[in-house]
Chains A and B, each alone.
Chain A
Amino acid sequence: EPEVTQTPSHQVTQMGQEVILRCVPISNHLYFYWYRQILGQKVEFLVSFYNNEISEKSEIFDDQFSVERPDGSNFTLKIRSTKLEDSAMYFCASIPDRINTEAFFGQGTRLTVV
């Protein structure tokens, strides 16, 4: 069964460093998302991506964040200068064109900023 894959599973970085979280969505999906979850708490929407551009971003998604789909398969989230409060589990998700379909999630990347 197709699945969304995320790498790495765990990333430890020093405050102020740049990190890139990688995702490979399911190949025929059209909508892509990043969500984050701090310490097993609420899942928060970060950004949605459709037709090669951001369709919506939350207040969390400030200038330190960016997303790219550089090669038609990978979908990356970049944090330019990490802060301690960026420590969280980051989930990538994708859905196909049908609005009645559930979102498919990757296993997540646990980002720890020290």
Chain B
Amino acid sequence: AQSVAQPEDQVNVAEGNPLTVKCTYSVSGNPYLFWYVQYPNRGLQFLLKYITGDNLVKGSYGFEAEFNKSQTSFHLKKPSALVSDSALYFCAVRDTNAGNNRKLIWGLGTSLGVNP
């Protein structure tokens, strides 16, 4: 079965420090991986995706993520965290098994807190 794991419920970092939000996945076939962010009382905003090509993908707001096939991971990173990055982050994988479906399978989310 396809699944996504975000092992940390909460990550706290100091402003200006690098941040990492972890994600591992289990899929059959080639993974299509996504990161979304949710600010308080807001919707889900797309950050970045990995489909194919370079393992390091860059996205919105200075975020990047590294696809590691051998470790089946897709960790989200940012070199220097901002207080405004504090939000809930979701990793998701596209279901490539079902024919005309393409639904997203979600991790549980990681709450990122950036302290001033």
The answer to whether B98 touches A55, judged by C-beta atoms less than 8 angstroms apart, is: yes
What are 11 sample pairs from A and B whose C-beta atoms fall under 8 A apart? A31-B102, A45-B103, A45-B106, A48-B101, A48-B102, A51-B100, A56-B98, A91-B44, A107-B42, A107-B43, A108-B44
Q: What total of chain B residues lie within 8 Å of the partner, measured CB to CB?
A: 29
Chain A residues contacting B42 (CB-CB under 8 Å) are: 107-108
A75 CB-CB contact with B under 8 Å = no
Q: Is B108 an interface residue (CB 8 A)?
A: yes
Interface range for A:
20 to 34
**A41-B108, A100-B32, A100-B51 are known contacts. Are A56 and B44 too (CB-CB below 8 A)?**
no
Is residue B11 contacting chain A, with contact meaning CB distance below 8 A?
Answer: no
Task: Determine if B103 and A56 form an interchain contact, defined as CB atoms under 8 angstroms apart.
Answer: yes
> Does B43 lie within 8 Å of A102, measured CB to CB?
no
Contact surface of A with B, Cβ cutoff 8 Å: 31, 33, 35, 40-45, 48, 50-51, 55-56, 91, 93, 95, 99-100, 102-108
Complex: chain A residue closest to B50, CB-CB: A100
A3 to nearest B CB, angstroms? 10
Interchain residue pairs A-B with the least CB separation, the first 9: A107-B43, A100-B51, A105-B44, A43-B106, A50-B100, A102-B46, A56-B101, A55-B100, A42-B108
Distance of A95 from chain B, by nearest CB (Å): 6
Shortest beta-carbon distance from B110 to chain A in Å: 11
Decide: A33 near B103, CB < 8 A? Known: A41-B108, A102-B34, A105-B44.
Answer: yes
